[in-house]
Chains A and B, each alone.
Chain A
Amino acid sequence: MAVVPVPRKPLTFAERTYLPQIAGGLWTTLKHFVGPKDTMEYPEQRPAIPPNYRGVPTLVFDPHGREKCVSCQLCEFVCPPKAIRITPGEITSDDPAAHVEKRPQEFEIDMLRCIYCGLCQEVCPEEAIFLQNQYSMTGLSRAEMVNDKQRLYELGGTLPDAHFKWDKKKAAEEHSHSH
């Protein structure tokens, strides 16, 4: 690389007195003094959450109200800080979703361990776990900071589904049986 010598001009008299620079600096700070504030009054004003934000992990229902998690435990295995603990459970045969066979009996995410990495969402084959917009988790005890299944569904709510894979599977099975 070529060496480019930068000419260093000696300071002019005005620069050596510091005064024009000080006046310029005062003008700059005065503009900030009267200008709009850059901060947000937090609890009253909330920041706009950008798309694909990774907030608190949640479980979601599909639009038919079926819980999407089938307790395959992939998220439990992939979770780097081991924050997820799943107890799998059977779906009884009289349930409308009996063909899905399994759902979590208990699903706990320890928010004191969670690192909001989003690997659980990425690994989930059922699109059942999502890191949504909530960014503020507080609790007065360690137990309060563990989200159980009921809380996870409360936080997650219902998200749209493009596939309805289990319904398609059931339809295909019924179709093949009819032949």
Chain B
Amino acid sequence: MFDFYFHLPLWIRMPAQGLAVILVLFPLAAACSMAERKICAWIQGRPGPNRTIPPWIAWVPVIAPILQHLGVFQLAADGGKFVFKEDPVPGHVNKFYFILSPILAMIPALTTVAIVPFGAYLSEGRLVPIMLANVDIGLLAVFAVSSLGVYSVILAGWASNSKYPFLGSVRASAQLISYELSMTLSVLPVFLWVNAPGGHGTLSLFDVVQSQSQPGFLGGLWFIVFMPLSAFIFLVALFAETNRQPFDMPESEADLVGGFHTEYGAFKWSLFFVAEYCHMIVGSGVFVLLFLGGWNPLPWLPLATVADWLGLAGIPLAMGVLGIVIFLGKVAAFIFFFMWVRWTLPRFRYDQVMKIGWQRLLPLAIANLIFYALAIAVIQK
């Protein structure tokens, strides 16, 4: 059915796929802002935005009121507002870098998704990942590119030529360095396990999911059960990396007005937030792939088995969609967790952030690595 697509030249297929993923990711990130508002409202005992509805949709029964109460049209109205409202550039900023930094924020945010697989289908008995670039450096590329996101924050703070944005960006850089180490160390045990002796060495996220889909007790176990401490350290570092509460030092609106984006408004401001939500989505995706079994619905129950039960194994499209739905469901649950934590915890003080990063998480990550290195050596012989 889709054979004609695979006969297209690569230079058409690749941009088309990339565009398709961005066209899904960008609105998804925007929708996260509405989810954030609704979840915040529900946790605080409010209904949240539930009024906006365009008159030409209002006559639709059942569906229109549901969408209205979920604030879907508010999201569109907000997005439209960001596009059309005046976008002032303050007189005291460095104009070139001031305008460059929100653009720079989007680039790593939309690039990391290329290396994240979000589904799989069976092709001639072999599981093929659905992703933009199945490269062997996998996770390393995600780490490398997503860390570039902080440069836009630093650039924004510096170009704003104003003290609060500057303080925010200084905090962002310090925080990134502090938590990057623990994050990288925490995932090493996973790759020690995945790269069993005799196999080919890989950092690919697809292979991590594959090793959670093996038969047997340890083979089908998700890594969050097998390596809870790794998962915990990675989770905490992920919160810090994505500047989410309780680690949103660069923003901390209580003491820094708005942090790095104090001087920004309108569309440039919204770009920063779409980028932040993109980071959250990709970060959640990486967590799901590493520790929560990716597109496998349950531990010890790989996607291929379920597709077989449902009789979808022979239809690549149906199985791919099933995998993507399961994966996105897990990511959505994880993003809910991000927001749930945000509206539960107060912000850590700056010195506490540094203390947790360097004096608690880093030693813990190293001890965890040593323990699992020994344990895996014993198990895998």
Q: Which residues of A contact B (CB under 8 A)?
A: 22, 25-26, 28-30, 32-33, 35-39, 41
Contact = CB atoms under 8 A, between A and B. Distances in A.
Contact of A29 (B46, B47, B344): B344
**Interface residues of B toward A: which range?**
10 to 19
Given A22-B345, A26-B341, A26-B344, A33 B46 contact: no
A25 B344 CA distance: 6
Contacts of B44: 32
B340 A37 contact: no
A33 B47 CA distance: 10
Interface string B329-343: 000000000001101
Contacts of A33: 39, 42-43, 340
Contacts of A32: 42-45
A37 B343 contact: no
A29 B341 CA distance: 9
A16 to B, nearest CB: 9
Contacts of B343: 29
A29 to B, nearest CB: 4
A40 B39 CA distance: 18
A33 B42 CA distance: 5
7 contacts: A22-B341, A22-B344, A25-B345, A26-B340, A29-B43, A32-B42, A38-B46
Interface string B32-44: 0000000100111
A127 B344 CA distance: 53
Interface of B: 39, 42-47, 340-341, 343-345
Point out which of A22, A29, A30, A36 has the most chain B C-beta atoms below 10 A from its C-beta: A29
B344 A35 contact: no
Given A26-B340, A29-B340, A29-B344, A41 B47 contact: yes
B346 to A, nearest CB: 9
A26 B39 CA distance: 13
A29 B340 CA distance: 8
Contacts of B39: 33
A39 B43 CA distance: 12
Which 6 pairs, one residue from A and one from B, show the smallest C-beta to C-beta distance? A38-B45, A29-B344, A25-B344, A29-B43, A33-B43, A33-B42
A91 to B, nearest CB: 51
Given A22-B341, A33-B43, A38-B45, 9 more contacts: A26-B341, A29-B343, A29-B344, A30-B340, A32-B43, A33-B340, A36-B45, A37-B46, A39-B46
Contacts of B46: 37-39
B37 to A, nearest CB: 14
Contacts of B45: 32, 35-39
Contacts of B341: 22, 26
Contacts of A36: 45
A22 B345 CA distance: 7
A26 to B, nearest CB: 5
B245 to A, nearest CB: 12
A106 B250 CA distance: 63
A26 B43 CA distance: 10
Contacts of B340: 26, 29-30, 33
Nearest to B44: A32
Interface centre among A33, A36, A37, A38 (most CB of B within 10 A): A33
Contacts of B47: 37, 39, 41
B344 to A, nearest CB: 4
